[in-house]
A and B are shown apart, each in its own frame.
Chain A
Amino acid sequence: MKHVLDILKLEYDLNWRPPILGIIYATFFAIYLSNLKYSAAIVEEWEKVYMYVFEMMGGYMYLSIPLIAFIGYVYSRSIAGSISSGLMKTILSYPVKRKKILAVKFTLGYLIFFIAGILPMLYSWFLYGIQVEAFISVTTTYALKLFFYTAFAISISLMARESLASLTEILFSLYIVESLPSFLYMLKLDRLAKIVNVNMLALILHNTFTSDNPLATLIESDGVYIILLYSSLSVIFTSISIIIFQKMDLD
C-alpha cells in the first residue's frame, strides 16, 4: 500500500502540479457557473427544487467540453508523453509493476476529474438546497461517463505513444462520441441515439428515482442499456490498455 501511495505522489508531482490542477478546477467552476442564469434571491421557494435540477443538468452538460479537453491533455502528457520522453522507461527500470503504474494513473486522474466535476455541482446546493435525486442522478452519470472517457483516453495514449498525436486522437474521437447522438437523431434513429447518449442517463435516473416504479421506468426508458453500453465499453478499453501496456516494448 505504501508503494502505491509513493507512486501516487510521484504521479501527482510529475503530471498534476498545482498550476495544472488549478486550471482544471477553475475552468470547471467557471463553465458550470456560467450556466447559472437565475439567482436564488429572485426565485420563488417552490421553484428552487426545479431550478436546482435544471441548472445542475444544464451545467453538467456544459462540463463535457472542458472534460474532454483536459482528459486529452492530461493523459497525452502523463502516458504518451512519458513514453516518448523516456520517463516511463526510467520508472519501469525500478521494481514497479506495469499494472500498478497504469492503475495509479487511472485512479488519480479519475478522482481529480470526478472531484472537479462534483465541486461546482455542490455550489448549486448552497443556492437552492440539495435535491438528493437530482444530485445522485447527475453524479452517477458523470461517474460513468468519466469512467468511459478515462479508459478510452488511456488506451488511445498507449497506442499513440507520442503526446501530440495522442491529444489529437483523443479530442477528435471523444468529440465524435459526444456528437454521435445528434447525428443519429438526424438520421431518425431516435432509440439508438438515446442509448448512445450517456448524458440522457441523468434525466432517466432522475425520473427513475422520482417514479413509483423505479425498475420499470429504468428499463422502459432504456437507462439499463445506456449503463450496460458505457460500462462494458469502459471495461473493454481498460482491458485493451492493460494488454497493450503489458506487451509494450519501451525501446
Chain B
Amino acid sequence: MNIVEIEGLAKSFGKIVALNGLDMHIPRGVSGFIGPNGAGKTTTINILAGLVKPTKGTATIFGLDIRSESLEIRRRVRFMLENMYLPGHLSVEKYMKHVACLCNSTFKEVIEVLEIVGLKRFKYRPIKSLSAGMMQRLRLAQVLLGNPELIVLDEPTANLDPIGKIEILEKIAELNREKSINFLISSHILPELERIIDWVSIINDGRIIAEGRLSDIIPRKKYNIFRIFSSDNKKLVNILKSQGYSIEFKGSYVKVEAENHWEFYKTLSSLINYGIYIYRVEAVGTSLNEVFRKMVKK
C-alpha cells in the first residue's frame, strides 16, 4: 500500500497555475520527488503539510485526508520545509525543547536526536552561531522528534557544501535502514539523491511526468554511456562522429552514447588503426540527471 496518494491535485495562486492535476503515488522507503525550479514541488509539500489549501483534487497520507485530518497527519509526519526558519537568539537545546513540546516528545529524545545529527556538543550554542551545515542538521534533528513514520524533506541539501550534502544523505539512508522511517525527498540536485532513493516521481509544470522504481526509470543495466580517455581525444571525436555516434567532448575524456554495445566495442578495438591509444573506458550507465533532462525537455 502506498503511503502517499495524490489524485488530480490542482492549485493556482491568482493567475499562476502551480499544480495542474497532479497524480502521485509514494510507497514505503526513501522516495525522490524531483523537478526543475518552479515545477510545483514546494507547493505539493505545503499542501501535504496543510499549509496551503488545494483548489481541486484529493490527497491522503497513510489513508488520512489532508483536508479533514491534517492534525492527525502532522502527528505522524514531519515536514522539513525549504529554508525552514530557525530563531537565532535561542540556544540549540532550548529551541529543540520547544519543538519537542509541539510534538509531544521528551527532553531525552531531544538529546538522542542531537546525538544522531552530531549536534549534542553544540547544544548550549545560540543557533545564530552555527554554520549553514550545522543549521541544516538542526532542521533535520527537529523533524526527527516524536517518532515520525514519514519525513518529507524539501531541498534538504540546499546551501550545503559537497561533504555536508553527502553527510545529510547518508544520515537519511541510515535512519531509513535502522529506524524504518520513510522519507520523501524533494530536490533538483539529482546525482546525490540517486544514491539513496528507491522510488522517484518526476514533476514538471505542475504534473507528474514519470513515476516508478528507480531501476525502472533509469535503464542502468544497459550501460549505454561510456567515458573514453584516449591519447588524442580530438581525433577520436571526429572518428566517432563520422560513424554516427552521439558524443560530447569533455576535454580530458569523450562521452559516447552507444545503443549497441558490441558494435561499439568493435569500433573501439579498431581505433588503434587510426593511431589512437585507449587508456581507459568507463561504462557509466544513464544517470537520473540525464533521464530527468530528457523528460523535462519533452
Contact = CB atoms under 8 A, between A and B. Distances in A.
B177 to A, nearest CB: 25
Given A13-B90, A251-B51, A251-B52, A95 B102 contact: yes
Interface string B85-120: 101011000100011011110000000000000000
Contacts of B270: none
B75 interface: yes
Interface in B25-72: 42-43, 46, 49-53, 71-72
Contact of B74 (A10, A14, A94): A94
Nearest to B142: A90
B78 interface: yes
Contacts of A6: 98, 101-102
Nearest to B51: A250
A92 interface: yes
Contacts of A87: 85, 87
B129 to A, nearest CB: 17
A109 to B, nearest CB: 18
B274 interface: no
A141 to B, nearest CB: 36
B83 interface: yes
A7 B13 CA distance: 31
A69 interface: no
Contact of A93 (B49, B87, B98, B104): B49
Contacts of A96: 74, 102
Contacts of A91: 102
Nearest to B78: A93
For B89, B98, B102, which residue has the most chain A Cβ atoms within 10 angstroms?
B102
Contacts of A14: 87, 90
A17 interface: yes
A89 B79 CA distance: 10
